[in-house]
Structure 1
């Protein structure tokens, strides 16, 4: 089997400030507005197995590489086929994959971030995998993460969410609640945590992850997007940013914090709370001063602004799509097996602690024995939804516009209302 490491200069760094999705799709020859749906049909499966290609950023990362390669080898050996692998780093992945698919240089199975579906569907070459999803036991939330405009472009591989994670020992020392029922109770807990000398909440304040503010806007009641209308700047989103600025001014959240800084602060027990997906546990463990820190980590349902509201969390995860072309039928069978075979999903979870996307996988002994992942699924993933901006090809640029304007509020350069009006105007110009 061959592995290609492409070294072409990165044109798009996902979630970075700089070259955005609009530039990417101008280069690729695609629209930058709403998703250009309408895929390439459903692959024929069940016939004679053929060689195919598989693109994956995990094959470029030390931690998952061996596990993913073992799965590829197992499937290839069982089917008697060869799998040609293509890999490049995550930050280059979407751009490089787009260039290859657009140029007709790639067909086969592809690992995707669920946030990228609209971008890849815009190319018009993703297969409809709906029939392959039937009867495989995928959870409803997982299937929704791989669906766009009623087309099942991706079979969910691992699905979780971005949610709040707290240090139970620090919360206990401060007398703060791990189950805040309201925004007010949440604030009280943060002030109590500040009193014991830690950063209460390592919330995103650096532009790279300030998209996390969207979850708080939704908590305060903003839909963010309503139909074809972007609602940023409505009363609820302004209230959310006003509240975030208050936390910042009181020192309840800290300046210049991104996801990596938050993980390090939490790992050193210098912060009591932060936002992350389950995948972040391994990073926290490796950087921790206390080797048993995972035992202290508790998923916390986001507080609600109104009684009866569902706690807000944003879906996070990976799916496997199929780019139509040579070997697409066997590539589709591989995607189905990789994401839903009980033995395979158990092995993936045991090696990497990435939650499976099937009901049987979540009910397995391996997942049940993992206290943190079980609680995370129950308290956070259960009510998670897709970021509504993901429906736009250039969603990353939209998030950047919001992040930069919210950052201006935090440092005192703009009012919440003016900043969000500016963000809305910028986004309107992209539509």
Structure 2
């Protein structure tokens, strides 16, 4: 991974801020204290600090987090200032404030954003602190960038495949397919059920076609290796060719994104779809079938050859610490929030977000949730982050590949030509 500092304009471009935003950022930067690249200034020993999180802006999540903050304030005699922005605006706001030296304390980050934010040079190295937490290895990896621990993992999960056991049983499929060949065979059996069943509600809209990446990896494409884009190799072409075959045989459907897939699955019209671990709760809640939750099963992504490692995309959140004011107390707060067993168990009960520690996962209230336990063992255990997360242009990279895959699906491009063009566009984006 690159260790060069992310440019201000590059970061803003990542978060979708135009020229006006850049000018505004410049104004903020001009007001930043000297040495803002290494610290925000202020008393690192202060017991008072800020906690910034998009979840504090969400009705379902806010009460649980406010409870954690209130308990900390009472126990430590400190004052925590809660700061929040809506999720879709969160990083643009955070980046502006962080660049201007206005953000201090603890910061909640989606793991996909960690690398870009770490490159700004504002975050503390939490390596020694993380050793105290008892985090799982995959959780620790989610908080690392360039060999350093910049985030303490709060909730660690993944995006994987969910199966509908009712439809599988109806089609006579007695066990989850483990290879691509078996998976394809199962999809054909499911198609035979008729009644408008979409065997696999795979992403086919550009907005969600980044879901093709785990399938490319399944076929052997590394996506990026030694700073070289490997999309366009035989493995990526094979993966997209296979995806096109599923599309043409109507084993997957056109114009499907995550919301469509959840709707189809909730209606009992899809046997498989990709989602994050929270998908069970979201999909079951919107379904008229009140027994659907019991039929939802985590499934290892089928592999190309027996013995291969199942692919999944890491998903979750970490708490990072901004250097400067309140740094020490914010660090202890982050460690407590992510590792205290009673706290993580209560948070899981309220939000169904899996803890990131071995102790948290083994708590009876968590362990008795079969879906979460199986998901962790079958999917999260081998999940990895995207190699493109390190680049400020990650969103554009995903879109560039998605558009080329969609061109293949609709028949306006051949897999080989599309993947070659995708590689060229990704390379251009990385070089910016």
Query: How far did 1:24 drift?
Result: 4.6
- Determine the C-alpha separation between the residues in 2 that align with 1:264 and 1:66: 28
Aligned to 1:35: none
Aligned to 2:386: 387
- Determine the C-alpha separation between the residues in 2 that align with 1:44 and 1:225: 40
Q: TM-score, with normalisation over the residues of structure 1?
A: 0.90
C-alpha contact 2:46 2:325 (8 A) present in aligned 1: no
Query: How far did 1:108 drift?
Result: 1.2
C-alpha contact 2:312 2:379 (8 A) present in aligned 1: yes
- Determine the C-alpha separation between the residues in 1 that align with 2:298 and 2:16: 37
- Determine the C-alpha separation between the residues in 1 that align with 2:221 and 2:60: 38
Partner residue of 1:21 out of 10, 14, 19: 14
Aligned to 1:428: 427
- Runs of 4+ that moved beyond 4 A: 22-26
> What are the within-5 Å matches in structure 2 for residues 334-345 of structure 1?
334-345=333-344
Show CA shifts across 1:119-169 (max 9, x none). 101211011111110121100000001001111000000001110001001
State whether structure 2 residue 168 is matched by structure 1 residue 171: yes
Aligned to 2:265: 266
C-alpha contact 1:160 1:278 (8 A) present in aligned 2: yes
Aligned to 1:83: 80
Aligned to 1:332: 331
Aligned to 1:237: 236
Q: Which runs of 5+ in 2 are unaligned?
A: 1-8, 27-36
Query: How far did 1:48 drift?
Result: 5.8
- Determine the C-alpha separation between the residues in 2 that align with 1:96 and 1:137: 32
3-state SS of paired residue (1:272):
strand
Aligned to 1:349: 348
- Determine the C-alpha separation between the residues in 2 that align with 1:176 and 1:260: 26
- Determine the C-alpha separation between the residues in 2 that align with 1:50 and 1:124: 23
CA pair 207-331 structure 1, distance change in 2 beyond 3 A = same
> What are the within-5 Å matches in structure 2 for residues 154-233 of structure 1?
154-197=151-194, 198-233=197-232
Aligned residues: 405
Aligned to 1:280: 279
Aligned to 1:128: 125
- Determine the C-alpha separation between the residues in 1 that align with 2:393 and 2:328: 30
- Determine the C-alpha separation between the residues in 1 that align with 2:260 and 2:199: 14
Aligned to 1:412: 411
3-state SS of paired residue (1:157):
strand
Show CA shifts across 1:159-203 (max 9, x none). 011100010011110123542121111001011111112111111
Aligned to 1:68: 65
C-alpha contact 2:223 2:387 (8 A) present in aligned 1: yes
Q: TM-score, with normalisation over the residues of structure 2?
A: 0.90
C-alpha contact 1:177 1:189 (8 A) present in aligned 2: no
Query: How far did 1:40 drift?
Result: 4.3
Query: How far did 1:404 drift?
Result: 1.0
Query: How far did 1:96 drift?
Result: 1.1
- Determine the C-alpha separation between the residues in 1 that align with 2:16 and 2:121: 19
The farther-off stretch of 393-402 and 135-144 is 393-402
Aligned to 1:4: none
Show CA shifts across 1:56-111 (max 9, x none). 11111111111111111111111111111111111111111111101111111111
Aligned to 2:398: 399
CA pair 178-60 structure 1, distance change in 2 beyond 3 A = farther
3-state SS of paired residue (1:196):
coil
Q: CA RMSD in A?
A: 2.2
- Determine the C-alpha separation between the residues in 1 that align with 2:182 and 2:174: 8
Partner residue of 2:113 out of 113, 116, 129: 116
C-alpha contact 1:176 1:188 (8 A) present in aligned 2: no
Aligned to 2:135: 138
Q: Which runs of 5+ in 1 are unaligned?
A: 1-11, 30-38
Query: How far did 1:373 drift?
Result: 0.5
- Determine the C-alpha separation between the residues in 2 that align with 1:385 and 1:128: 21
- Determine the C-alpha separation between the residues in 2 that align with 1:168 and 1:282: 16
Aligned to 1:290: 289
